[in-house]
Amino acid sequence: MGSVTIEEAQAKLATIIASLTPGEELIITQNDQPVAKLIAQKRSMRKPRQPGSAKGKLVILSDDEEHLNDFEAYMQ
């Protein structure tokens, strides 16, 4: 776990974040006192969802409207 001053963090935030490894912690200090902790997130192993990626995976074998007979009184 490293530390940087708040001034350095403000000046080089993008570079600091890019250099962190997943799970690594960095303490930000002001006047030699810790004021914040920056923790790099672990990268997701999942690929982002894509529209249509489940197309063809659901198969309806037959129409089943018989179960609706039980609700006939409510549907009128």
For the chain, what are the domain ranges? 1-43
Residue type, 76: Q
Total-model pTM: 0.55
Predicted pLDDT at 25: 94
Give exposure, 25-51, as e/b (b: 16+ Cβ within 10 Å): ebebbeeeeeeeebebeeeeeeeeeee
CATH number of 1-43: 3.40.1620
Predicted pLDDT at 68: 76
- C-alpha distances in angstroms, 63 versus 57, 58, 66, 67? 17, 14, 9, 11
CA distance 14 to 29: 17
Please, which residues bridge with residue 40 across strands? none
pLDDT tens digits for range 14-73? 999 999 999 999 999 999 999 999 999 887 778 888 898 888 888 776 677 777 777 888
